Amino acid sequence: MSDEISILGKLKEKLIQRKQEWARDGRLLTGNQTMEDRELRLPRGQRLVTDWPVLDLGIQPDVPTAAWSLTVDGLVENPLTWDWDQYMAQPQFEDVSDIHCVTAWSRYDNLWQGVSTRHIIDLVKPKTEANHIILHGFDGYTTNVTLAAFAADDALIAHSWEGEKLTRQHGGPVRAIIPQYYLWKSAKWVSRLEFVDADQPGFWEVRGYHNEGDPWKEERYSF
Ligand X SMILES: Nc1nc2c(c(=O)[nH]1)N[C@H]1C(S)=C(S)[C@@H](COP(=O)(O)O)O[C@H]1N2
Residues interacting with Mo ion, by CB under 5 A? 55, 184
Q: Which is nearer to ligand X, 99 or 124 (CB)?
A: 99
Per-residue binding string, ligand X, 34-73, x by CB under 6 A, is ------------------xxxxxx----------------
Rounded-to-integer distance, Cα 91 and Cα 81, Å: 16
Angle at 19 between CA 223 and CA 2, to 5 degrees: 100
Binds ligand X (CB under 6 A): choice among 184, 195, 205, 220: 184
Cα separation of the two ends of the chain: 41
Binds ligand X (CB under 6 A): choice among 46, 147, 186, 202: 186
List, in sequence order, every residue forming a beta bridge with 145; answer none if it has no partner: 133
CB of 178 to Mo ion, least distance (A): 13
Q: Which is nearer to ligand X, 102 or 124 (CB)?
A: 102
Binding partner selected for residue 56 from ligand X, Mo ion, none, CB under the kind-specific 5 to 8 Å limit: ligand X
Buried b (16+ CB within 10 A) or exposed e, 84-112: beebeeeeebebebbbbbbeebbbeebeb
Rounded-to-integer distance, Cα 26 and Cα 173, Å: 37
Q: Give yes or no for residue 101 binding ligand X (CB under 6 A).
A: yes
Binding partner selected for residue 54 from ligand X, Mo ion, none, CB under the kind-specific 5 to 8 Å limit: ligand X
